[in-house]
Homo-oligomer: A and B are copies of this chain.
Amino acid sequence: MTGPVHPTPDAISTLRPLPLTDLTFASDGFLGAWQRRNATRSLPYCIGQLDAAGALDNLRRVTGEADGEFQNMWFADSDVYKTLEAAAWQLGRSPDDAELRAFVDTTAALLAKAQGEDGYLNSYLTLVEPDQRWRKMHWSHELYCAGHLVQAAVAAARAGVGAEVVTVARRFADLIVERFSKVDDVDGHPEIETALVELYRVTGHRPYLDQAKRFVDLRGHGLLNDEHFGAAYLQDHVPVREADGVAGHVVRQLYLLAGVVDVAVETHDEELLAAARRLWDDAYGAKTYLTGAQGSRHRDEAFGDPYELPPDRAYGETCAAIAGFHWNWRMLLASGEARYGDEMEQALYNVIAGSTALDGTHFFYSNTLHLRTGHDGSHEDAPSGRLPWYSCSCCPPNLARLLASLSGYAVTADHSGLQVHLYAAGELRTTVDGVDVHVAVRTEYPWDGRVELTVTTPALITLALRIPSWATEARIDGQPVAAGDGYAEVRRDWSAGATVILDLPMPPRVVRPHPRIDAVRGCVALARGPLVYALEQADLPDGVTLEDVRIDPTAPIMTGRLPDVPRTLIAGGTVSPPASDELYSSGVDTEERGGPLAFTAIPYFLWGNRKPGPMRVWLPVAATR
């Protein structure tokens, strides 16, 4: 069963993804438990919300099965499609889930019934503005919704569930190709590009790929116009090949870049691939938060200027983090370079993990790195706690589809052997060049850096293990390997079976920002392994205000535990209250030197799971005496 993103044999692809079902995460491991929570809590919850929020009813209104007016966002069909995609991946891995099968089957039937005779399918346009079809491309999200329909169909096809969805999606895709191969137009919200390439991969039907390439190349030529938001918001400000930095609406930019890489590798377009690398350097060199989040501006949901990374006003949309994960995966497959795996890991264990509450049914849309004392939390895009749903609820179903297919992103193969990118307890049964390989992985990663890989295969293959960029040292079977080289390779004949022990020591560490990140000048962050830590008001003694805590980065940092927190970090510093109430002063000292304090930080992804309250990732450094 093929997973998400499966380049054709002819594509530029240094690494090859493994079938989704070849790797099973252990249910007591970190990723396995998370994936199980997704299957048992988040995904069923999302399915329920499709009814509660009216998204399914919109389609039923098209078929005449429901009354009333169109509800929810005009692009609410996409919530149905993303949830359907999640259900398809999940059902492919758990074919006996009758409830899930019923959801997939009834939804597929509904879509087939709602689809127009010509293949068109969009409940908002059909119900509310039927005469505006394809006429408001900057705003309508018609191709965006179509793209998610196609993605759901790709998942259904690869998982072998819901052939009816595939038929619906192909009919719509054929209509799109028929129209848009002749007129110069693109959608204000990218998504169709990557979707059409994936549909080409599933069907082998070349016009889908050609159309995707056409959509990529038509951007940046003034086809879209919106006075209020401007061209960058719509990803129409510059031809992709000429862009030298990421800009505009983050999710739109990143969805487009996933499509750009897909088109580039399938069409052997090195110029386009170089553009993607250039934009990656800009994004990850100057426009990414420590947690892997992206998007510095609530206004226009946008990337900011280089180094504009305010922790308190981080937009950091959950969908953007998922989109970044998708983009990095494509870059990793194309190049085999570890830095892409590093960024996948950083986002996964921090911003993405943090976006969902421990209960699996509350979510952040925007993922801040700093909640200030006095925050009013009034706006739903920056609440002081995770919310059960949003008026625009694109993120929860996006999480569901990522988690349902997560095992597809951990290990790849090439002609020489296997590459392990994400470490998780579990079991892999696959074939490399026709030879069976079995790998059992035991690890408590990300809480502990010891990873035991027991390999059995009647062949000489290379096991390449990603050495994360955070690691300052690494050992394989007790022997030091060079850190910072990307992958450590173990080439052996494994016919008798052998266990390789990768050890990635995880001493707590102090992270310093680039000096151009003005917003966190004079601050450091705490991290351990791939996990970024945060300090919550909830963990401070009574009477100590979060804003007054200063860290001494030279003091030793210890590890500890709390309920639900396997590893805390205990650091030292001071409590330094303001020396005066004056907002601006000409005096020399603005804060008291303060008394000593030891404080406990928890992993960022766990914040806000107790009582809501102030939190910060970046901690001001104590003044030296």
Residues of chain B with a CB closer than 8 A to A308's CB: 312-313, 372
Flag if A305 contacts B583 (CB, 8 Å): no
A588 interface residue, CB < 8 Å from B? yes
Which of B285, B520, B581, B620 is A581 in contact with, Cβ under 8 Å? B285
Flag if A578 contacts B310 (CB, 8 Å): no
A589 CB, min distance to chain B CBs, angstroms: 8
Chain A interface category by residue count: 35 or more
A509 and B586 CA atoms in complex are apart in Å by 7
A460 CB, min distance to chain B CBs, angstroms: 37
A74 CB, min distance to chain B CBs, angstroms: 14
Within 8 A of B (CB), among A352-384: 370, 372-376, 378-379
Which of B285, B298, B311, B375 is A298 in contact with, Cβ under 8 Å? B298
Query: Which stretch, A41-49, A76-84, A510-518, touches the partner chain B?
Result: A510-518
Flag if B511 contacts A374 (CB, 8 Å): no
A455 interface residue, CB < 8 Å from B? no
Given known contacts A300-B379, A391-B227, A514 and B583 CB-to-CB distance under 8 angstroms: yes
A232 interface residue, CB < 8 Å from B? yes
Within 8 A of B (CB), among A506-530: 509-523, 525
**Please, which residue of chain B has its CB at the minimum distance from the CB of A303?**
B376
A547 and B576 CA atoms in complex are apart in Å by 28
For A510, A590, A591, the residue with the greatest tally of chain B CB atoms inside 10 Å of its CB is A590
A interface residues, Cβ below 8 angstroms from B? 227, 230, 232, 237, 245, 247, 284-286, 288, 290, 297-300, 305-308, 310-313, 370, 372-376, 378-379, 391, 470, 472, 509-523, 525, 547, 576, 578-588, 590-591, 620
- A–B pairs, 27, beta carbons within 8 Å: A284-B583, A285-B581, A286-B374, A297-B299, A297-B313, A300-B379, A305-B375, A306-B374, A307-B547, A308-B312, A308-B372, A310-B312, A370-B518, A470-B586, A472-B586, A511-B584, A513-B583, A513-B590, A514-B580, A514-B582, A514-B584, A515-B578, A515-B591, A516-B578, A517-B583, A518-B620, A521-B522
